[in-house]
Structure 1
Amino acid sequence: MTDTNTLLVTSTEEGIGKTAITLALAKQAQESGLSVGYMKPKGTRLQSAVGKTRDEDPMLARELLGLDAEMHEMEPIVYSPTFIQEAIRGREDPTELRERVVGNFEALSEGVDLMVLEGSDRLETGGIVDLTDADIAEAVDANVLLVSGYATVGDIDEVLGAARTLGDRLAGVLFNGVTDDAMEILTDDVMPFLSGRDVPVFGALPRVQSLAGVTVEDLSRSIGADVLTNEADTGAHVERFSVGAMGGSAALEQFRRTREAVLITGGDRSEIQTAALESSGIKALVLTGGLRPASAVLGRAEEENVPILLVQSDTRTTIDRVEDVLRSGRTRDEGTVERMQELLVDSGSLDSLLEPEE
């Protein structure tokens, strides 16, 4: 086991491509002749099926990597709301949980060249039981790859904070989903700045539309919405959602900072809907409660080429359904993993992470 190279992949935010990158790295290592194991210590992307709550990422990893390990071995902790509540009440023992993670890791890593661990969407997840990704990396002696997005220079504060948390465990940062407009300043200014602060950077992967979000058409079909606009294009991709629960002026300010998003709001909130239509970052509106918008809003949406979707469910239920579609639609099939693998190979900067330790 001492010859196993262990890499934990974590991220600064949700939906940045961590799963695709993790599995693409593992696939590339296999194709390079290395034996590979996989583990997701904390299952956070939870779905309920046949009476069990489980994370779909280990299921995909098991299939793509041809692994024999059982689900409960690859995912020792189901980090569900129920688990969190029990932990807060003192009914989960952090020491026992840590031992379970380490024990499963030791079993899964036996005889493999590279052990890949998929971390959480945020570094602080798991703190209530002393099992953040930094804690797990320390427990299993793993190097850490930090996946981050980049839109503005202000995003680097979060990267620096993560680097301080991870310390010497940080192997480096990989920026993913970077637009053409942001790439130049990232490579010319930001990456040298980080290197000067002793934060290693492996590189930056460009934004690829097929890996970013889901189309409005797919979202509409998945949540059972009626499309109220006749001419607006439903082919745009959306990657995140915003909830319209504030006043019109505050909403407009928020929407101006949003990109590639769908707005979820009540069908009777005309001022929120109008504000959203003034923002280039809002690609579609999902109106809840079965309430049709004002004719003026519909007309404006047609002019701005922004589809309006209508659902019968309430806002809370709709938020949960949209969130599930956006999370599951990004990186959850073999095709997206293969495309990410191509990007990683083209970058040529991660080879050192895949080599077994001497």
Structure 2
Amino acid sequence: MNTVLVTSTDHGIGKTAISVALARTAQQAGHDVGYMKPKGTRLLSAVGKTRDEDPMLARELLDLDAEMHEMEPIVYSPTFVQEAVRGREDPDELRERVVENFEGLAEGTDLMVLEGSDDLATGGIVDLTDVDVAEAVDARVVLVSGYEDAGTADDVLAAAETIGDRLAGVLFNGVRDSELDELTDAVMPFLEGQGVPVLGAVPRVQELAGVTVDELARNLGADVLTSDATMDAHVERFTVGAMSGNAALEQFRRTRDAVMITGGDRSEIQTAALEASGIRALVLTGGFRPASAVLGRAEEEGVPVLLVQSDTRTTIDRVEDVLGSGRTRDRATVERMQELLTESIDLENALSVDL
């Protein structure tokens, strides 16, 4: 029986879709496959009620009978963290819980796929980082990374050093066409030369990138103030307008496929955002309607303006959560990721099973 743990260098780069897609690919090749997410970090409340959709999606798509508490034995909530730093959580007991649940789920399988955290440091306060989990269950580790520029190699090298000999390889996901040559011709060979195995690079495809403005508006419960704007535009990141108009414009011009968040009374920031081609939508906070001139300009540019009642800090958290969730939690997304993985990476080396 082989075990693979999928971890990542950051949140929102496709770890869930990749984890389930890898498991499903092996299952469709005739292998008995199990799934586990040792630490649940997608929470409904600080007291630890989980809303983690990842194990539920895996259970549905892989047709598993396991219970949620078995697939996700630790709910890594703020309350859990507070109790842990006060010495009220026993690292040995937690490790034993993870191993016992793993062994129960792994019985009779050819392959176990474990979904790790968004950060290799998560779990460190109870000696249960992704590397600790991999050692406890004897798993090889697939590291998922995005790619911005050659500087990404710094993060990958640091993560690879932390993982050590258990690293099966690095999988770059969501790579833009404009960055693919640099990655494959320079960065990947460099990493291989440093002893870091690379499994391949998955290209960015629009249907898996970010969320649409319409989806964002619905998740935020926002009022849409523009009528002719493009609600099917995709946004992958956010920027906050909290400076002067000139400084904001300079910042906005450096971003792409972004939603800009600012107070509804900050007309100069809103105007600057509408001059930047990479800003796909404005989210205005505090329930303040913008000036009519701003709305008129937004209509001309086809940029949606969304209005929420919450304050800017709360809105940032909510937008971050929506974008971090991405478009990973449905069958169509996982099936598309399967296709991309089959075309782009060394699957047999990643999973250590015949396909």
1:304-343 superposed Cα distances (whole Å, 9 cap, x missing partner):
3322111122223323332333233410011100000111
Paired position in structure 2 for 1:203: 200
Within the candidate set 58, 62, 65, 2:62 is matched to: 65
2:53 to 56, 65, 69: 56
Distance change in 2, residues 1:296/1:222 (3 Å):
same
User: In the alignment, which of 148, 152, 157 is matched to residue 154 of structure 2?
Assistant: 157
Which of residues 191, 196, 211 in structure 2 aligns to 1:194? 191
| Percent identity over paired residues | 77
Change (3 A) 1:157 1:337: same
Between 1:99-108 and 1:195-204, the stretch displaced more is 99-108
8 Å CA contact 2:171, 2:345 repeated in 1: no
Mind listing any 5+ residue stretches in structure 2 that lack a counterpart?
none
Match runs of 1:1-358 below 5 Å: 4-47=1-44, 52-356=49-353
> TM (normalized to structure 2)?
0.93
Paired residue secondary structure (2:94): helix
AA matched with 2:319? V
Distance 1:296 1:138 in 2: 60
Work out whether residues 46 and 56 of structure 1, in 8 Å CA contact, stay in contact via their aligned partners in 2.
no
The runs of at least 4 aligned residues of structure 1 exceeding 6 Å deviation read: none
How many residue pairs match? The answer is 352
- 3-state SS in 2 of match to 1:102: helix
SS of equivalent residue, structure 1 residue 34: coil
- Residue 183 of structure 1 deviates from its aligned partner by 0.7
Task: Measure, in 1, the Cα distance between the counterparts of 2:67 and 2:178.
Answer: 44
Task: Work out the CA distance in 1 between the residues paired with 2:34 and 2:287.
Answer: 48
TM-score normalized by the length of structure 1: 0.93
**Please, which moves more after superposition, 124-133 or 161-170?**
124-133
1-structure distance, mates of 2:77, 2:287:
31
Once residues 170 and 126 of structure 1 are traced to their aligned partners in structure 2, the CA distance between those partners, rounded to angstroms, is: 19
Alignment partner of 1:47: what SS?
A: coil
Q: Which shows bigger deviation, 311-320 or 348-357?
A: 348-357
Q: In 1, Cα distance between the equivalents of 2:135 and 2:274?
A: 47
Structure 1 residues 314, 203: closer, same or farther in 2, change over 3 A? same
**Deviation digits for residues 30-52 of structure 1 (CA, Å, limit 9, x no counterpart):** 0111111111010012236xx94
Q: Distance in 1 between matches of 2:162 and 2:246?
A: 37
Asked whether the equivalents of residues 15 and 330 of structure 1 are also in contact (C-alpha less than 8 Å), the reply is: no
Contact 1:54 1:78 in 2 (8 A): no
Aligned-residue offset at 1:251: 3.4
Contact 1:20 1:340 in 2 (8 A): yes
